[in-house]
Amino acid sequence: MILSELSAEEVRRRLHCPGLVIRTGPFNFRIRSTIESVAQGLELLYPDYQLVEDGQFVDFTVTLAHSGGLRRWWRPQVRFVYDGESPFAVLPLDHAFPLMEWAMNWCISTQAHHYLTLHAAVVEREGCAVIMPAPPGSGKSTLCAGLVSRGWRLLSDELTLISLADGLISPLGRPISLKNQSLVVIRKFVPDACLNQVTHDTSKGSVSHMRVPTEHLQGIEERARPRWVIFPKYVPLAKAELAPRSKANSMLELGRNSFNYTVHGLTGFELLSDLITVSDCYDFRYSQLEEAVSVFDQLAVKERG
């Protein structure tokens, strides 16, 4: 059963108690909240996601609760509760849906140590994955959304999950986070993109999330092998261009962008080294999204031979 098969009333009933249990990639999340924007966001962005049957194992329970006391009514706030603790500072109530997304990422990045997890977007074409680590402002999410809208399959826009057993990458397939100028760019590039309401004044600025194309969810079990590591950088007026990048330097940068490389010790080192060995590494500058997508398409054509 998928979420869209539930009535609006049933979605809210389950969110209230005992929690709406939904599968996202390899993880089962239980979401609990009485906050309306959370329900609306889930209905809009997760309609085609599988619900999890009663009795199946739940990896993480994410609760988004109203703050107590006066704050329930005066400048109301939301807090994320996990295992009885609130790991994050409280936020304004209208930040509830982005908080849910950040909380889900936090659960995976801090606890799913059966993967080597990178802070990087990853998309796939014909079984080959492009890993794109990048700091804020690099245009990674805009590029990711653009690629996903032009035939590349989304594995994740934030967390690259690398299997410790065989080095393959598992899809997470959750909505793509967009902020500030990237919202403007993607609305133009993908006029029929389904975007959630924009949340303003977050610490990242104005943020929204883009729904993942349904066909990407149908292949949610299909893993991909790493083939390229590309460090994107949005540079105004720049021609879209790949420049070969040092493998050793790329490896260290992936380590820096990993949530748990240091947890895994030698295993993490061997895994990342193997990944770098099989991947071509590049810096990528771009300013026009269409041109950028074309460069990536050329990579896939060349790989096909």
Partner 1 sequence: MSENSATPSPKAEDKGVTLSADALARRSLLLKGLGRGSAVLAATVPLQTLAGQSLLTFDGKHQCSVSGMHSGVHSATPSNTPTCGGYSPGWWGQSQTVDGKIVPRRTWPIDYRTKCDTIFTRCTLLNSNGTRPSLFQIMSDSRFASSDEFHWVAAYLNALSHSFNFPYTAQEVVDFYNSPSYADALAFFKTFMENHT
Partner 2 sequence: MTWQINALVTLHWRDWNGEWVAFDVGSGQTHQMDTLTATVLMLLETTAASQFELAMLTADALAVPNDHAFSTALSGILDGLRAAGLIEPLVQ
Residues that bind partner 1 (CB under 8 A): 80, 86-89, 91, 98-99, 102-103, 106, 119, 135-139, 202-204, 207, 233-235, 249, 252, 255-256, 261-262
Place of tokens 């801090």: 110
Give the distance, in angstroms, between the CA of residue 65 and the centroid of all CA atoms in the same chain. 23
Q: Measured between alpha carbons, how far is 204 from 186 in angstroms, rounded to an integer?
A: 17
273 binds, among partner 1, partner 2, none (CB under 5 to 8 A by kind): partner 2
Q: Measured between alpha carbons, how far is 296 from 174 in angstroms, rounded to an integer?
A: 22
Q: Measured between alpha carbons, how far is 230 from 241 in angstroms, rounded to an integer?
A: 11
Considering the complex, what minimum distance in angstroms separates the CB of residue 74 from partner 2?
48
Q: Is position 243 an interface residue for partner 2 (rule: CB under 8 A)?
A: no
Q: If phi over 0 gives left and psi between -120 and 50 gives alpha, with beta otherwise, what is residue 117?
A: beta
Q: Is position 164 an interface residue for partner 2 (rule: CB under 8 A)?
A: no
Q: Measured between alpha carbons, how far is 161 from 170 in angstroms, rounded to an integer?
A: 6
Binding mask 192-231 for partner 2 (x = CB under 8 A): ----------------------------------------
Tokens of 98: 């982005």
270 binds, among partner 2, partner 1, none (CB under 5 to 8 A by kind): partner 2
Tokens of 244: 């070969």
Q: Which of 168, 238, 252, 300 binds partner 2 (CB under 8 A)?
A: 252
The four Cα atoms 57, 42, 47, 179 give a dihedral, to 10 degrees, of -120
Residue 10 has, within 13 A of its CA and on its CB side, a CA count of 8
- Contacting partner 2 within 35-94 (CB under 8 A): none
Helices (H), 190-242: 214-218
Q: Which of 111, 255, 285, 287 binds partner 2 (CB under 8 A)?
A: 255
Considering the complex, what minimum distance in angstroms separates the CB of residue 87 from partner 2?
24
Q: Is position 270 an interface residue for partner 2 (rule: CB under 8 A)?
A: yes
Closest listed residue to residue 241, CA positions, set 178, 301, 185, 299: 299
Q: Which of 8, 269, 290, 294 binds partner 2 (CB under 8 A)?
A: 269
The four Cα atoms 97, 163, 130, 220 give a dihedral, to 10 degrees, of -60
98 binds, among partner 1, partner 2, none (CB under 5 to 8 A by kind): partner 1
**Judged by CB, which is closer to partner 2: 207, or 276?**
276
Q: Which of 56, 86, 214, 273 binds partner 2 (CB under 8 A)?
A: 273
Considering the complex, what minimum distance in angstroms separates the CB of residue 261 from partner 2?
8
Considering the complex, what minimum distance in angstroms separates the CB of residue 204 from partner 1?
5
The four Cα atoms 247, 122, 103, 54 give a dihedral, to 10 degrees, of -130
Q: Is position 244 an interface residue for partner 2 (rule: CB under 8 A)?
A: no
Q: Report the interface residues with partner 2, using CB under 8 A.
A: 246-249, 251-252, 255, 262, 265-266, 269-270, 273, 276-277
